[in-house]
Amino acid sequence: MTKKIRKNTQHIIEITAVTTKGFGIGHIDGFLIFVDGGLPDDQLQIHIVKVKARYGYGKIIDIIKPSPSRIKSPCAVSDKCGGCQWEHCEYNAQLKFKKQIVIDALEKIGGITQNGIVQDVIGMATPQRYRNKSIFPVVSKENENISDSLMCTSFVIGMYAARSHRIVEVADCNIQHSAHVPILAKVSEYMQQNKITPYNETTHTGIMRHIMIRVGFSTNEIMVVLVTNMQKQKLLPHEETLIEMLSSVGATTVLVNSNQAKGNVILGEDFRLLSGSGYIHDNIGSVVYQISPPSFFQVNPIQTKMLYDIALKQANIEENGEEIVLDAHVGAGGVALYVAKNKKIKQVIGVDIVQAAIDDAKKNAALNGIENAQFICGAAEEIIPKLVSTNECDLPLKTCTPNIVFLDPPRKGCETILLNTLIEAKIKRIIYISCDPATLARDIKKLTDGGYKLIVAQPVDMFPMTGKVEVSCLLEI
């Protein structure tokens, strides 16, 4: 009989696996325990911090026997910050763990037997400084109960602690592009000089909520968005000085975003341009992308090229000018423009629910001289059923039924109505790109139950030092 595990008790545990959220997995008398920071083959003394009916959570008290994959973290706050989970894990081991995560999800959720379907994870030569987008919350030190640092400021700029709204003060981050370091220093200096108060989410007072920074790796263009708890038309003090300060450390465009809503949504709908064009550019291969503040763009441009090359190869597009390709979650142009730029095809159709992203996709098509791409704003599960029906299609084509469909949905995966539409239309080839192996496996099961066969799953490490992994899967009818 399983011994009941209680909160605030201590136990010895062996870690056997890991999750995408960075937890180590182990068992105590058959009872499942998730351990923050645990790695396979760790033997740990843990303190039980939470117990549910079928599982519990533990905190490491002592490492009795370290995993062979365990290394000294190069990050001073990696045990506190929620941005990374695996700075203490050797990189090649991370890649092996991620492959196993994908295999486990496809087997346990998708009902897919491995048989060589899941390939080795494609990693990075230098798995640091890869993120082109960073968002830093700004909070009061009094609220966070953090003592003053050398700068003696009344606020903290940092990152959220794991599974918390507590802030860990961060001046530099190993996985972010280094451009954020002087930007944060200048914003901090500006706030001190002008007595700009940090936002308090409890009282809904204060001005500065977040600092968002986007960087074009190939262009060195830098966008800074200051998210404030102010009305759109209200000005910050001495904005010309702010522009000069940020321009002096490389910012090419600066915007203020107004977000007076309560809750956790980062960006409001209203942007006010202070300097520059309001967007930046970056290249993926030979394709130039114009990126506005709210548009989705992959955060790791180095690995994005790898991912798009794999997806393009999986699509196996014939250069006969007859292919119709659909990108169901196109963002600012995504893989759709990459396909249209590299292959002579009849038509590329991109769909996305964010109007700003669709606007960017259209601009990007023009920027790259692409004339065979069209973009539609709307939810994929609403738009695509109409597109594959010749009676309702309002595009210039006589038929909109694609030969090839790219799916790259948010973490929650695809809506059932979208998957059913693809099954009923018997789309010959689907390339499903996902950053969540669990929802990917769930949706693949629906597609395979509907007659599709999973040919290959190629993981790409878009998020080193975290448990996340991107996967490009080829399915054929």
Residues 6+ apart with CB under 8 A from 26: 13, 14, 15, 16, 33, 35, 38, 44
- Chain segment 122-163, per-residue pLDDT in tens: 999 999 999 999 999 999 876 554 443 433 458 999 998 887
- Structure confidence at residue 295 (pLDDT): 85
Q: Cα–chain-centroid distance for residue 191? A: 29
- Structure confidence at residue 152 (pLDDT): 42
Confidence at 290, pLDDT banded by 50, 70, 90: very high
Separation in Å, CA 78 to CA 71, 180, 466 = 12, 18, 11
Return the structure tokens found at 454: 């999973």
pLDDT at 20 exceeding the cut of 60? yes
Kindly report the pTM of this predicted structure: 0.90
Query: Of the given ranges (163-167, 246-250, 463-467), which has the lowest mean pLDDT?
Result: 163-167
pLDDT at 391 exceeding the cut of 70? no
- Chain segment 325-361, per-residue pLDDT in tens: 999 999 889 899 999 986 678 889 999 998 988 999 9
Instruction: Compare 41 and 79 and report the one with higher pLDDT.
Output: 41
Residue 452 CA to residue 448 CA, distance in Å, equals 4
Contact indicator for 360, 291 with CB cutoff of 8 Å: yes
- Active-site annotation holder among 75, 377, 414, 435: 435
Domains and CATH numbers, the chain: 10-70 (2.40.50.140), 133-282 (2.40.50.1070), 299-476 (3.40.50.150)
Residue 385 CA to residue 374 CA, distance in Å, equals 17
Confidence at 386, pLDDT banded by 50, 70, 90: confident
- Structure confidence at residue 182 (pLDDT): 97
Residue 406 CA to residue 475 CA, distance in Å, equals 11
- Structure confidence at residue 143 (pLDDT): 56
The residue written with tokens 């056997």 in the block is 16
| DSSP 8-state assignment for residue 321 | S
pLDDT at 184 exceeding the cut of 70? yes
Contact indicator for 43, 65 with CB cutoff of 8 Å: yes
Contact indicator for 22, 37 with CB cutoff of 8 Å: yes
- Chain segment 200-209, per-residue pLDDT in tens: 988 999 999 9
Confidence at 394, pLDDT banded by 50, 70, 90: low
Query: Of the given ranges (47-56, 146-155, 362-371, 413-422), which has the lowest mean pLDDT?
Result: 146-155
Contact indicator for 95, 53 with CB cutoff of 8 Å: no
- Structure confidence at residue 27 (pLDDT): 97
Contact indicator for 82, 159 with CB cutoff of 8 Å: yes
Residue 441 CA to residue 449 CA, distance in Å, equals 12
In 155-269 the beta strands, taken as DSSP E runs, fall at 155-160, 167-169, 208-215, 222-228, 253-258
Active site residue 377: no
The residue written with tokens 């090649």 in the block is 92
Residue 358 CA to residue 381 CA, distance in Å, equals 16
Return the structure tokens found at 420: 């059913």
